[in-house]
Amino acid sequence: MHTDVERCVRAVQSKDARFDGWFFTGVTSTGIYCRPSCPVVPPKVENMTFHPSAAAAQQAGFRACKRCRPDASPGSPQWNERADLVARAVRLIADGVVDRDGVPGLAAKLGYSTRQIERQLRAEIGAGPLAIARAQRAQTARLLIETSSLGMTDVATAAGFSSIRQFNDTVREVFALSPTELRRRAGDAPAAPGTLSLRLPFRAPLCPDNLFGHLAATGVPGVEEWRDGAYRRTLRLPHGHAVVALSPRPDHIACRLTLTDLRDLSIAISRCRWTLDLDADPVAVDAQLCEDPRLAPVVRAAPGRRVPRTVDGEEFAVRAVLGQQVSTAAARTHAARLVLAHGCPVDDPAGGLTHLFPDAAALAELDPESLALPRARRTTLTSLVAALAVGKIDLGVGSDWREARERLRELPGFGPWTVESIAMRALGDPDAFIPGDLGVKVAARALGLPSTPAALTAHARVWQPWRAYAVQYLWATGDHPVNFLPAER
């Protein structure tokens, strides 16, 4: 969008928050860059330049505005809508791959050369993978400076900087303030080590009902819970584990993170945003779905529904198999047994979380005969776990959606419902569709839509590329607990 100068100028002059994250405005007269909704008086048109990412604006020599904090705006929705090389690379960088494995590690995961990745990212985003990762490190550093009592050396290490000098130089360059000045501006930092309170921005509108309702209603005891108005769960991260509490607010998601290793902060935030689908563009989604007169009243009744995703694609795939042809309560029971038998115990003084969900390596050791499942379902589960354990199937944020679907279909017991459910909630494909789902068929019939899978798929062409969101609106017509914010227990 940054190449459409006239449209960008209109967005900046109207302070339109819908475009935050779509592009960034560099102001040549001041040397700063802003989000479109910056509250200050818009600059003169001749002083505006437009950039596709915060990293590109920083690389062009602009520093972040202290008023609108553009580096903290919602991410561009297109990186979660697409499955091409650039989108997959951006998702992997956000998940910390470059910080952990460098650009060669990113290239290895994507199956391309470092030169190809560098060239394509620069062409579309205006910055290479190192610059994008650097912008992310700067944002992480600022969060730690402003919300923790860590010393600056510890902040630099936790944010992924290789030296305190690099940390100081980057913070000064990006924010035009020293780390000490940033902390002074933020006021007193909390004293609890490893615990951070953050605000996760999103594009309005956001309907929290089905988002948090689904996560809470299907939550695995010991791994997930709803407590004090927040969805809480454990996270397995590269350097340790974490407990996160996510609460809906009118203009943001309140996020409280307790980390065993602060180096995992940016990855944990990225996975929370991914799980809640916070970078979606609800205006574009709802406008497309309202083109269907049968679906339009449901969309207008509660706009801004998101697709509830998952913090771990492999975990969700296992849970999808456990949920085949059984009720939500039965699926939770099966998953809870698996967690107690094979999950890693954790401490949670603030609540009732007890375990991390077992990873594929741990589940590869399970005895199929110990599973209280039909024999065919045991075969399906053990086949999936074996494929995940050896890396035959990639269900991570940077996966190839088409290839992942093909690999899943090769496994015994994987029909369209299971494959598309995983595509929707683990892979994040916004066009994943499950016309054979019972709730979808009942809702379609009630709305006067075709209810057979073939006929509904044909009708759903008008919903593309947002059929996963259409599913959320169809489910919303029922009275299942997944559609409502849970009551306090």
Largest CA distance in the chain: 71
Within 10 angstroms of residue 108's Cβ, the number of other Cβ atoms is: 13
If one counts every other C-beta atom within 10 angstroms of the C-beta of residue 151, the result is 9
Give me the count of residues in the chain. Answer: 489
Number of H helices, E strands in the chain: 23, 11
Which residues are registered as beta bridge partners of 232? Answer: 225, 245
Spatial distance between the Cα atoms of 176 and 27, rounded to a whole number of angstroms: 15
Closest CA to 33 of 135, 182, 120, 179: 135
The answer to whether the beta carbons of residues 273 and 75 sit under 8 Å apart is yes
Distance, CA of 37 to CA of 299 (rounded, Å): 26
Cβ proximity of 302 and 476 under 8 Å: yes
d(CA 383, CA 238): 25
Q: Is 437 a known active-site residue?
A: yes
Buried b (16+ CB within 10 A) or exposed e, 232-242: bbbbbbeeebb
Check 8, 34, 65, 207 and give the catalytic one.
34
Catalytic residues: 34, 437
